[in-house]
Chains A and B, each alone.
Chain A
Amino acid sequence: MGGEEPRAQMREPMTMEMYHASRWIVEPLHLLDCCLVSNGAVAVIVSSAERAGDMKAPPVYVLGMGQGHPGDPLRAGSDWETETGAKIAARTVFSMAGLGPSDMTQLQLYDCYTYTVLVTLEDYGFCAKGEGGPFVADGKLGPGGSLPTNTGGGELSGYYMWGMTPLSEAVIQGRGQGGERQQPNDYILCTGNGGILNYHGALILSPNRS
């Protein structure tokens, strides 16, 4: 989905044939399941809402934030591979914003691997655990879909700047500066992972203050 982001590293439309033909990295992950290697930098200015109103660029407001850092105890009973800190973060971020998954108009999700998007959608309650694949199969994450996601190509097709990849695109979309790739932006869920899914952070951003 990086085709409409001029800074994306992968801009050629990808077909299923290209995907399946890409070499294995760690089976079951193909090369095209894995994020890019990028050089770059992203800066975000955080300010009070009052000050932000006086600045040149349109402000994007933080309606909620949440974190979840379950760690991996490497013990029986842990579902580290299939449940992430997003499950914990979801409760905080949605309750702070007074919103739920069905209110989100677009998603900017940390997508170090394709699988990460699916497990994140499940943990935020967009669909049931294990249903991520069928949930996205109709293309709802694409441009014009019911849940446009990673509109700038994300880390898979855009550029890999860690959690700054989803955050930078969330700010661009929140300002309404997405150009051809602009999607409805009332409520943007933006997530980041770290430490092999041991750490998770979430923001709900919006062009509106509440």
Chain B
Amino acid sequence: MSDTTPAPSRPLPQADEISQEFFDGAMEGRLMLMKCGGCGALRLPSRRHCDVCLSDQTEWVQASGRGVVRSFGIMHQRYHPGFQTPYNVAFVELDEGVRLPTNITGIANEAIRVGMPVVVDWDRYEDVALPKFRPA
């Protein structure tokens, strides 16, 4: 009678050694950023060495979760069966000054604008949470 084939699930990121604190924080609703212990520059995505001073010293700081839409596009090409098109992909520039690739939620794609203030909106799965952003 009905189509019982389950919709293919979306691939989800897995934490590694370098990103563990980011994903641990995300599960608790905290947007965590890696900060260079040498020069203070934020590293996003997290990585072993600083691209400014090459230091491997790090600490983690909690971001405000606030930012603005820096740029965006609307994906119409379907690259994976788990993603329904169209969907948006955006770069959000956090108040802390780093840019995060993400999706904008809670608003029609046509209404997204560059410069729009946004706030983090967690997309929660069983083992992982992803920072999406909605209009502030």
**CB pair B51 A26 closer than 8 Å:** no
Q: Is B35 an interface residue (CB 8 A)?
A: no
Please tell me if B61 contacts chain A, counting CB pairs below 8 Å.
no
A-B contact count, CB below 8 Å? 37
* A38-46, A57-65, A70-78, A89-97 - the one binding chain B: A70-78
Contact A74 B44 (CB under 8 A): yes
Minimal beta-carbon separation of B51 from chain A (angstroms): 6
**How many Å lie between the Cα of A25 and that of B93 in the bound state?**
24
From residue 33 to 87 of chain A, which have CB atoms closer than 8 A to chain B?
A: 71, 73-78, 81
Out of A28, A71, A74, which one reaches B73, CB within 8 Å?
A28
A-chain residues with CB within 8 Å of residue B86 when the two chains form the complex: 24, 27
Binds A, one of B7-15, B74-82, B123-131: B74-82
Please state if B97 and A76 are interface contacts (CB–CB under 8 Å). yes
Give A77's nearest chain B residue, CB to CB.
B97
Shortest distance in angstroms between A113's beta carbon and chain B's nearest beta carbon? 11
Within 8 A of A (CB), among B9-52: 41-42, 44, 51
B132 proximal to A (CB < 8 A): no
A23 contacts the other chain (CB 8 A): yes
Q: Name the B residues within 8 Å of A73 (CB-CB).
A: 51
| Chain B, residue nearest A78 (CB) | B99
> Smallest distance from the beta carbon of A156 to chain B beta carbons, Å?
17
Identify which of B42, B44, B75, B98 contacts A26 (C-beta below 8 A): B75
* Contact assessment for A74 and B98 in the assembled complex, using a CB-CB cutoff below 8 Å: yes
Tell me whether A75 and B99 are in contact (CB under 8 A): yes
Query: In the complex the two chains form, what is the Cα distance from A74 to B96 in whole Å?
Result: 12
Q: Which residues of B contact A26 (CB under 8 A)?
A: 73-77, 89
Shortest CB-to-CB span from A75 to chain B, Å, is 6
Q: Which residue of B lies closest to A29 (CB)?
A: B73
Query: CB distance A23 to B76 under 8 Å?
Result: yes
Return A134 CB to nearest CB of chain B, in Å.
Answer: 20
20 contacts between A and B (CB under 8 A): A24-B76, A25-B76, A26-B73, A26-B74, A26-B75, A26-B76, A26-B77, A26-B89, A27-B74, A27-B76, A27-B86, A74-B44, A74-B99, A75-B42, A75-B97, A75-B98, A76-B93, A76-B97, A76-B98, A76-B99
Q: Which residues of B come within 8 Å of A, CB atoms?
A: 41-42, 44, 51, 71, 73-77, 86, 89, 93, 97-99
Known contacts A77-B97, A81-B71; 10 further A-B pairs (Cβ under 8 A) = A23-B76, A24-B76, A24-B86, A25-B76, A27-B75, A28-B73, A71-B51, A75-B97, A76-B99, A78-B99
Residues of A in contact with B (beta carbons under 8 Å apart) = 23-29, 71, 73-78, 81
| Shortest beta-carbon contacts, A-B, top 5 | A27-B74, A24-B76, A76-B97, A26-B73, A74-B99
